[in-house]
Structure formats: structure tokens, C-alpha cells
Amino acid sequence: MLNVGSLYAFSLVSSLCVLFGLNFLFRKGNLVVAKVLAVQFLLLGYLMVAAYFLLPENIIETPYFFRTLAPLFYTFPPLNFMFMWHLLHPRAKFNKKHLFFFIPFLIQLVENAPFYLSSKQTKIEEIKWMLGQGDYFAFSERFMWFDPICHVYAKFAMYLIFYVAMVYYYIRFRRAKENQILFQKGSFHYWIIGVFVFRICTIYYIWYTFIFTDNGKASFIPIDYLLIAEFVFHLFYLAVNPKLLDVQILAEQLKGQEPEPKTEQEIVRAEKEDERLLALADKVEEYFKTTEVFLNSQLSAELLGSLTGHPHRMIGQAIKLKHNISFRDFLNNYRIAYIEEQLANPDFLAKSSIEAIAEASGFGSRQSFYTAFRKAKGCTPKEYFSSKIG
């Protein structure tokens, strides 16, 4: 039997998991990330209780918990992924498509249903037979469809796939420029990294014990202790950062507060600013048409600002507002339009090489010419010119 200290520790952590889970689950206004975390806490609370009663010295007396944990291990990878997803997107609504992640859990649950519905005596006989085999993966075909080791392989694959997905979305989130401030003033990413560490330990344990050495059949699966350690980490993190218990604060610190509605004066000021920028965009276009300044290979927004007397930053903003493209793309579009005008002369292509055309139209290099042309026309200059000749 477990000593009194271990039993108290088991009971304390299990009770905390249930209390935290119920708190997150039923608190009004909670975000999806809190609901997902609540389900994980509640499952862990059950896992700890069941793990105690599944110890060899207790299992015969309480056979009702036998095989109830196996399906649950299918739920932790998708729940962990959903926790990560909604932690990075706290204002996102629950996606019903995520329910498909739990199909393997339902399959094993239905598979084990005949054993769950059998009598206590039948359960005890099955457990004694298994213990007599000295193999905790021994099973009777009347109660199971698949060899339990098949489920181990499937769970390992799920843990690995969802772990890769979690890392992918986390890296993409970190690279987003609008999220950089989170990693300067916040500590949420340490929470995520902690989850990664525990999750990779679990994946390694499953691989090493059940696939590489095949030692898992000789003892009960201690993987639940890794999950316990992971959720103790959650509890510790929330204890050190109690403000995270308020999930509205969590959302605000992750994605920032919702912008306050603009006042009428601010709206009028913004409209006047847009009018100024649109007028500037018209002046730039007129300047391009009358001077053909775009044929200058050194032309930039800074140089154009010097030539026209307008701030170069405003020029870029004006082009973006009116045409929804960058100044560089706007400039290259004029150069390509100039080339198309020259194509009206049948001798233009015959007497000019691609390098000469690129230089004459303002492109500083053959590479920049090809890049801009492909972006604008979807093909190379050579392909485009060939179609014109044909």
C-alpha cells in the first residue's frame, strides 16, 4: 500500500485538479481556453483516483477502474493542442471540427464497453487471468477488438502529430510582428514552453518503453505520473500567476485590449487624413505620367519625396491607401506598362534584348526585372514576349 504521505499527496493534487476544473468550467464569461483546461483538470483528477485503485494491491478489490484509463490517453493530445490553439487565439470560438480529434477515444471506449458492463466477478476473473500471464497487455478477444499494443502505437502517433502541430503554431505565433510585445513584457510563453517540455518527455517515454525496449508489458503504465507532473506544473504556474485565473485578463494580456470606439472628432480627423493621402496619390500618378520619372532605375520613395517636396513616408501611405500595393510594386507596374506601350512598335522586340528592355524601362538588374514581371503577369518576360510575337 502507499504510505500515508503519498496518499495525502495523491488526494491533495487530485482534489486541487477537480476544484480548478470546476472553477474554470462553470465560471461565467470564461474563454474557450479555460474550458479546455477545465476538462483536462477534471480528467486528471479522475486519472489520479483511478491510478491509486489500479495498483496491484488494490485492483482486485476495486476492479471497476480497470481499462477505464486507456481510452482517456487518446484525449490528452488533442486537448493539449486545443489548449495551445486557444491560448494563442483567446478570442476564437470553439471549432466543432476539433471534435473529430476524439474519434479514437470513442472507438476504444465502445470497444471496452462489454467489459465495463460485465459483472464484478467477471471483471475480477479477467484481471486475475491477466495478472497470471505476467503481461499487462494480455487480453481476451471477447472483451477487446484490437491488441492493446496497437492502441499504444496509435497513441504515440497522436502525441507526436499533435506535438508537431503545437510547435508549428507556436513558432508561427512568435514570428508574427504584432505579437512581439508579448515576449518582451509577458511570461505566457514560459507556460507554453513548460507544456512542450512535459509533452516531449511523455512522447519519449512511450517510444522508449513500449516501442524501443518493449518493457511496458511487465508493469503498469507509469505514463499517468508524467501527466500528473505536467498538471502540477499548471497548478504551480497558476499559483505563481494568480491573475491568470481571470481569463478575461488572460485574453487582454495575450492579444491586448479591444480598441476603444473612436470619437466623432477622431473619425473626422481620420477622414481628412485619408483625403490628403488620396490627393497625394493622384499627384504622384500625374507626376509619373508627365515626367516618366519611373524610368530612373535609382528612383525610390525617398528620391521621389525630394523631387516633389512631399514626405516619402506619406507617399508610401498614399499609394497603399489608394491601390493597396507597396510603392515598389506601384513603380514596377508603371515600368511594365511602359514596356507594353513599346510593344506596339513591331521592331521593338526584334532590335532589343531582354537586358536592354529591362534597362530602358528603369529596372536596375535582370533579376529585379524578372521578379517584378512574374509578379505582375504571372510569367517570365521571355514567355510574355514570345506570346506577343506569336
CA–CA distance, 174 with 181 (Å, rounded to integer): 10
Tell me the HSE value of 305 on the side-chain side, using a 13 A CA sphere.
13
Question: Closest by alpha carbon to 232, among 35, 29, 44, 362?
Answer: 44
Res 105: pLDDT = 92
Distance of CA 344 to the CA centre of its chain: 52
Q: pLDDT digit string (tens) for 216-254? A: 555 544 555 666 677 677 667 766 766 655 555 555 555
CA–CA distance, 331 with 320 (Å, rounded to integer): 12
For Cα atoms 116, 117, 120, give the angle at the middle one, nearest 5 degrees.
Answer: 80
pLDDT tens digits, the chain, 390 residues: what are they? 455 555 676 677 778 778 878 877 887 666 787 788 888 888 888 887 887 777 777 788 888 888 888 888 889 889 888 888 887 776 678 888 889 999 999 998 998 888 888 888 988 888 888 777 766 676 777 777 887 788 888 888 998 999 899 888 888 877 775 555 555 555 666 777 777 888 888 788 778 777 777 655 555 445 556 666 776 776 677 667 666 555 555 555 555 444 456 677 777 777 888 888 899 989 999 999 898 888 888 888 898 888 888 888 899 898 988 888 888 889 988 988 888 888 777 676 666 777 888 888 888 888 888 888 888 888 888 887 777 665
Question: Closest by alpha carbon to 77, among 107, 103, 109, 51?
Answer: 103
Tell me the HSE value of 231 on the side-chain side, using a 13 A CA sphere.
31
Enter the DSSP assignment of 244. Answer: G
CA–CA distance, 85 with 170 (Å, rounded to integer): 8
Which cell numbers in the block locate residue 275? 483625403
